[in-house]
Amino acid sequence: MTSAKSELLKKLNDRSAVIGIVGLGYVGLPLMLRFSEVGYKVLGFDIDSHKIERLNAGDSYIEHISSDMVRAARHSGFEATSDFDRAVEADALILCVPTPLNKYREPDLSFVLNTVDTLVPFLRPGQIVSLESTTYPGTTDEELRPRIEGRGLKVGEELFLVFSPEREDPGNRNFTTRTIPKVCGGCTPDCLEVGTALYGQVIDRVVPVSSTRAAELTKLLENIHRAVNIGLMNEIKVVADRMGIDIHEVIRAAATKPFGFVAYYPGPGLGGHCIPIDPFYLTWKAREFGLHTRFIELAGEINSSMPDYVVSKVASGLNAKRKAIMGSKILVLGIAYKKNVDDMRESPSVLLMEKLRDLGAAVDYSDPHLPVFPKLREHRFDLKSVDPTPEALQSYDCVLLATDHDRFDYDVIKNNSKLIIDSRGRYLEPAPHIIKA
């Protein structure tokens, strides 16, 4: 056992290690809270000065994470900073930065690589670096390891490198950072041992795998499995609609089978930081091996087509009332990517709003979790959430249910809307003014 490894394991096990978390968003912030909770000093890094100020003031900017939790972490020694020079203070550096797609639907590793390049000058012997950002198999070995070893640090002897994909599910009260099993793969057996020791302090079950590549593919498989099954349900939804059958009724009935069926539900498109993006990381990497992942890409095509399908339902619903989309007032209910959260990442609601706006509609939105439309990199709306009172609902030609938050009063919406396009199957009983989409 190298002295670097033994000293690092001792620090991790007696919780004297300093934990550095890079990226304090929906993944990094819960992880910070968990390490702080068990007694580690945590140093958080982010390039967003607004986030840094709020966290250091004990204020949370994520709805399902309370400010009380942030204040407790601050009291335990947590500090947020944009000064990456301080990475040298950390014994563990956990990278939780975005891995989006570029405009050609290809992996964009710029956030990861820029972060690593920024950290490299401050790496030292006796540290562990863990990448949690979803990516294609080979990223850790092919991109991170050469950069670290270019610093003169031998991975597996002086510095330890692992990939351990995040599995956060914002707003899900049934699972926490602690209770969700953590997959971990190392560049070497010693790297894996240190990675297991790191996460074993804060996660109930760590699942070791043979390599970083296996861990990277595990994360992609989890999300491709979901994307493909949602794509199947979206395709069957269109077929069922043409046949005059309610697909949600069919799924609920099928879900009563106690074996061999898992219920997935269709919707207006895919949202979130994983499901719409991760499959394309594998399809891109597969081309390097001369493979064409037709099944995955077909599911992607189907899921990507759903916003247009929903817009067509809006058009046909308005047409039946002798109205066009152009000039109509449309209220979109829910702009978060899923119910009961304030997470806007890749939300299909934004695509729906843009498509309707481009067709000439006057578009507003209502979302109790997002009172002001946030600033996004690619989408611009200068709007505030509309309170869906009876009077407000009556003023719209169409109400489009895009995200079915529990805080909406669905009876009020039903009784005061001229036309409802329900893309979530929320309304079970048929009504003349409700169209399933």
Q: How far is CA 130 from the centre of its chain?
A: 19
For residue 285, pLDDT beyond 80 = yes
Domain end residue (candidates: 210, 241, 263): 210
pLDDT top residue among 200 and 345: 200
pLDDT tens digits along 14-46: 999 999 999 999 999 999 999 999 999 999 999
Residue 221 lies in a domain: no
CATH number for 302: 3.40.50.720
Give pLDDT, residue 275. 75
When pLDDT is averaged across residues 317-346 and rounded to a whole number, the result is 95
Which one of the listed residues 187, 191, 274, 398 is annotated catalytic?
274
- Shared-domain flag, residues 140 and 83: yes
Show Cβ contacts of residue 227 under 8 Å, excluding neighbours closer than 6 positions. 270, 275, 276, 278, 279, 296, 299, 300, 303
When pLDDT is averaged across residues 314-319 and rounded to a whole number, the result is 97
Residue 301 lies in a domain: yes
Active site residue 274: yes
Binned at pLDDT 50, 70 and 90, residue 424 comes out as very high
- Shared-domain flag, residues 237 and 182: no
- Shared-domain flag, residues 174 and 25: yes
- Shared-domain flag, residues 157 and 304: no
The two three-digit tokens of residue 80, written as one number: 């947020």
- Shared-domain flag, residues 373 and 430: yes
Domain region containing 34: 3-210
